[in-house]
Amino acid sequence: MVGTWELDTTASTFAPGPPPKSEIRLYEPEGIKATVVTIYADGRRSIFEYVTSYNDVIAAVTGSDTSDAIRMPKVDAFTAEAELSLAGRNVGRTRRVISQDGQP
């Protein structure tokens, strides 16, 4: 998963919508260090970061006004879920699936 990944909005679902215009995620090999740059449908831009692991810990999220913590349970070798929270309240859930050949 290390590398730069671009969200394919046509292959993703968003509830509630609308989907973002774009999202780029940079994953670095220090645990799971992520930098996420999102351009929303209304043109707003956000950048947030976190360093976490798959060992069921809650890690801090910086740079976001909508979440301050993340927990990333691993489903299998190619799938992980992210549970985002703000002030201890669940505010979102995502599911990331990487193709088995490692290609987008």
Contact 21, 39 (CB under 8 A): yes
Q: Is the dihedral of CA 81, 41, 59, 24 positive or negative?
A: positive
Q: Which residues contact 9 (CB under 8 A, 6 or more apart)?
A: 19, 20, 21, 22
CA neighbours closer than 13 Å in the CB half-sphere of residue 104: 13
Q: Exposed, middle or buried: residue 34 (CB in 10 Å: 0-12, 13-18, 19+)?
A: buried
Q: Per-residue pLDDT for the chain (104 aa), expressed as one digit of tens each?
A: 788 989 988 888 888 888 999 999 998 987 889 999 999 999 999 999 999 988 888 999 999 988 999 999 989 988 889 999 999 999 999 888 888 886 65
- Give the distance from CA 57 to its chain's centroid: 16
